[in-house]
Amino acid sequence: MTRLQWLRHLALIGAILLPWAAMTAAASSPIVIAHRGASGYLPEHTLAAKAMAHAMGADFIEQDVVLTRDGVPIVLHDIHLESTTDVALRFPDRARPDGRYYAIDFTLAEIRSLRAQERLDSDGQAVYPGRFPAHTGDFRVPTLAEEIDLISGLDRSRQRRTGLYIEFKSPRFHRREGHDIAQRVLDVLREKGYDQRSEQVFLQCFDDETLRYLRHELKTPLPLIQLIADPGWGEDSAVDYAFLQTAGGLDAVAGYADGIGPWLEQIYLGQDAQGKPVLSNLVALAHARGLQVHPYTFRADALPAGIDSFDALLQLFFLELGVDGVFTDFPDLARTFLQDHRQHRTPQ
């Protein structure tokens, strides 16, 4: 073989292997999970925010899912529409007696006609004033199927393999409304060829019964994450969140799930009198049972009390606590942090 032939041979091998190496990104650890997309920069759960997260190198992109009246999974954080769309302007007489506009009361065609926008609070003010301008932009509420098409299309054109991280929102509410949200989401994953991709899809829920149903009755092979809320948030679940954070609770979780998604303030409890972080033992307890730990939500513009920079927060969780991934509104910053701090992690 001549030198030129040998170089061509090497180039050919490289051309085969390099894209493959890039496409293993979803399996890297710790993982960066784009929380509602790159939602620090564009309105949450819009396709624009998801495309930006992809470009920023997120390993996984999160989808919160609710159903429409016609049973179609859409990507929306709330079961209500008014905080992130212009539904109150478009359909002013369609609120329930509690004043809320429920996605389950609207067909997909109606929801497609809404404009999605930056999240507003109950006074109509932007929840994060420094982010994308409120009431601005031509964004829509995507279906889960449309979002999967976007991510898989970008994976193809950018030679990546980006993961989906799907949350079932309020499954008990959906059941009362006559819908099985777990089954509907699995149907979409099967239609899109993602239902067996256990390296590329996480399923998450606050409701333990829904996770048990997914594992034992629907028999999904996809990894399941038990989310842990603060009891005061009123999540749609009967689970005892305090018990879940104990050794006994995590023993139970290990029987049906592959990891936990705790609120970061269930791990970082504040500072002591000397200004040192006070930490729970939740990460170590979970790791001892083989459970992954993916805390939420890491926001550069909403730091926990006592943490003075986003890098300090990431340092604590990635390097000192050794979590397996984080949900963040700023996937670019987490990606850069991990690139700058390779080899410095001490998992518990």
80 is catalytic: no
Q: Contacts for 304-307 with beta carbons within 8 Å, 24 or more apart?
A: 304/264, 304/265, 304/268, 304/270, 305/270, 305/271, 306/270, 306/271, 306/275, 306/277, 307/268
> Cis peptide before 143, with omega less than 30 degrees from 0?
no
Side-chain-side CA neighbours of 186 within 13 Å: the count stands at 20
Per CB under 6 A, 118 contacts ligand G3P:
no
Q: Of the candidates 82, 110, 167, 207, which one interacts with ligand G3P according to CB under 6 A?
A: 167
Is 294 annotated in the active site? no
Q: Does 167 bind Ca ion (CB under 5 A)?
A: yes
Give the residue from 179, 181, 180, 110 showing the smallest Cα distance to 144: 181
- Size of residue set near ligand G3P by CB under 6 A: 10
- Sequence-distant (≥ 6) Cβ neighbours of residue 294 within 8 angstroms: 31, 33, 202, 225, 259, 260, 261, 323, 324, 325, 326, 327
Task: Choose, by CB under 6 A, the member of 327, 328, 333, 334 that binds ligand G3P.
Answer: 327
Contacts with Ca ion by CB under 5 A: the residue count is: 2
Which residue has its beta carbon closest to Ca ion? 167
Query: Which is closer to Ca ion, CB of 167 or CB of 235?
Result: 167
**Which of positions 23-42 make contact with ligand G3P (CB under 6 A)?**
35
Nearer of residues 117 and 266 to ligand G3P, judged by Cβ: 266
Closest to ligand G3P by CB, 77 or 161: 77
Residue from 113, 297, 336, 348 in contact with ligand G3P (CB under 6 A): 297
Looking at 9, 45, 54, 77, which residue is catalytic? Answer: 77
Smaller CB separation from ligand G3P, 77 or 179: 77
Looking at residue 138, its amino acid is: D
Q: What are phi and psi of 119, to 5 degrees?
A: -65, 135
Q: What angle do CA 32, 35, 40 make, to 5 degrees?
A: 105
**82 is in the binding site of which of Ca ion, ligand G3P, none (Cβ under 5 to 8 A by kind)?**
none
CB 131 → ligand G3P: shortest distance, Å? 15
- State the minimum distance, in angstroms, from the CB of residue 248 to ligand G3P: 23
Burial track 286-299 (b if 16+ CB lie within 10 A, e otherwise): bbeeebbbbbbbbb
Binding status of residue 78 toward ligand G3P by CB under 6 A: no
Kindly state the tokens that stand for 147.
């979002």
With 0-12 CB in 10 A as exposed, 13-18 as middle and 19+ as buried, what is 149?
middle
CB of 4 to ligand G3P, least distance (A): 54
Q: Which residues bind ligand G3P (CB under 6 A)?
A: 35, 64, 77, 167, 204, 227, 261, 296-297, 327
Catalytic amino acids?
35, 77
Q: Which residues bind Ca ion (CB under 5 A)?
A: 64, 167
